[in-house]
Amino acid sequence: MKAKVTAAAEMKIGEIDRRVFGSFIEHLGRAVYGGIYEPGHPLADEEGFRTDVIKLINELGVPVVRYPGGNFVSGYNWEDGVGPVENRPARLELAWGVTEPNKFGTNEFMRWCKKAKTSPMMAVNLGTRGPEEARQLVEYCNHPSGTKYADLRRAHGYNDPWGVKLWCLGNEMDGHWQMGAKTAYEYGRIANEAAKLMKWVDPSIETVLSGSSNRHMKSFGDWEATALDLAYDNVDYVSLHQYYDNKTGDTASFLAKSMELDDFIYSIICTCDFVKAKKRTKKQINLSFDEWNVWYHSNDDYVEKWSTAPHQLEDIYNFEDALVVACMLITLLRHADRVKIACLAQLVNVIAPIMTENGGRAFRQTIFYPFKLMSKYARGAALKPIVDSPKYDCKEFTDVPYLETILTYDKENDEVVFFGVNRSMDENILLDVKLLGFEGYKAVSFESMDGHGVLEENGFDCEKVTMHSNPVPQTDGDVTTADLKPLSFNVIRFRK
């Protein structure tokens, strides 16, 4: 089949915020203990941080990491995780039914962020706690000295403030599974007061309002409108969370899930702009898609009650999962004007692109590769392409384009990049890419992930589902022709 994509230098969606390639570390399973932190591991540094994991995170290119949750944060006392480790209490962790030893906390996370070359995105507990504890944590992290909590940080050995700029106001507060779950009105009131106090302590911070846990919640839409109406003046972003699965084995529908994602994002943008219009304000609320991924392989895992750092939610991803992750990333970039933060959930071991053995090896999951390539090359502005692609119907969707695509333009480095997924299971796409206003640009590289069975996986002994290089496509004038294999993720770079 044939497809055509046309992009022009003037057709910009918006500038790509690097934070859209963020990730997430929660005190869940082996994300922390055995993931990023494992004292005694042969490759752990003097602080217990796994250097092999840090190396892989640097390879991914993750600019921001959300912490410490997630459901965990709604019952978390941040004071348990600071000060001398030997004095920290172990707690029953109700969100996931385990015991939290509190050997790793706020300061350890901040030190780890520096070594991992990333920035912290902190979440505050608005479930079992409230505005007072939230502003105390901001003071502990960000105030220089001369006050109770700033001096407490200094007493713990950290004279300089951490300067955390991004703060989540709770997590999934609409969910019945959440500790301290609230109605939209209750949450909007407490979020507004927390954000207000937090910004009084440090006016330079940005805050994220907790949106619906997912678009299938009965309160979806009303939740955002009500909470945002109450907290609009003191928040900067609304969060979105979404996970997809293929429990039915319907690959055609699974690969089309990004169409639902696109509609979800558009719905939240409309809700934000409704409240903006209602308030007659010029302030724009942007989006923080701070939990997203494929998640279903580990849903039936058994975890021993009150164990510590068990093997929990350790999805092993396959090839079709990687294609869906690529489609989701493309969709996020299609909304680069409003989606400014996004966090792949999570980073290590727990529904993650990186898997480790306790005391042993680490490997890159299939989903590692589309994230890595897009984090590396999707710079500058997202372009709005005109796409002429054949379409198909499936059980869950109609008029699904076989080609899912976005292009980016990095003016500083004179580079245009095409990212595309061929959803067809049995046909190549003969693709023409036409670049208007990019005189002298030619294709210089073509990488793809293709040729694998949909259920093929990576493991500790073999990473077979990965990217590979192809012959550079020929450019004739302003048109480049490339052959996209069936079920493939493709990256074509053009340089002047």
Active-site residue (options: 291, 404, 415, 457): 291
Active-site residue (options: 139, 172, 314, 415): 172
The answer to whether 100 is a known catalytic residue is no
Strand order in the sheet with 403-410: 12-15, 381-383, 403-410, 415-422, 488-495, 442-449, 468-469
Which secondary-structure segment (H or E) carries 134? helix 131-142
Instruction: Report the candidate in 384, 273, 398 with the shortest Cα–Cα distance to residue 330.
Output: 384
CA distances from 330 to 266, 394, 480 (A): 15, 21, 20
The answer to whether 457 is a known catalytic residue is no
Instruction: Report the candidate in 368, 400, 354, 377 with the shortest Cα–Cα distance to residue 465.
Output: 368
User: Is there a contact between 178 and 140 (Cβ–Cβ < 8 Å)?
Assistant: no
By three-state DSSP, how is residue 241 classified?
A: strand
Burial label, 260 (beta-carbon count in 10 A; 0-12, 13-18, 19+): middle
Using alpha carbons only, give the angle 286, 290, 292 rounded to the nearest 5 degrees.
Answer: 120
Structure tokens at 487: 């079920």
Q: How far apart are the first and last CA of the chain?
A: 29
By three-state DSSP, how is residue 262 classified?
A: helix
- Helices (H), ranges, 143-183: 148-155
Using alpha carbons only, give the angle 332, 338, 344 rounded to the nearest 5 degrees.
Answer: 35
User: Is there a contact between 163 and 121 (Cβ–Cβ < 8 Å)?
Assistant: no
* Peptide linkage before 29 cis (omega within 30 of 0): no
CA distances from 454 to 4, 251, 449, 458 (A): 26, 8, 12, 12
Rounded Cα distance between 254 and 477, Å, is: 37
Catalytic residue numbers? 172, 291
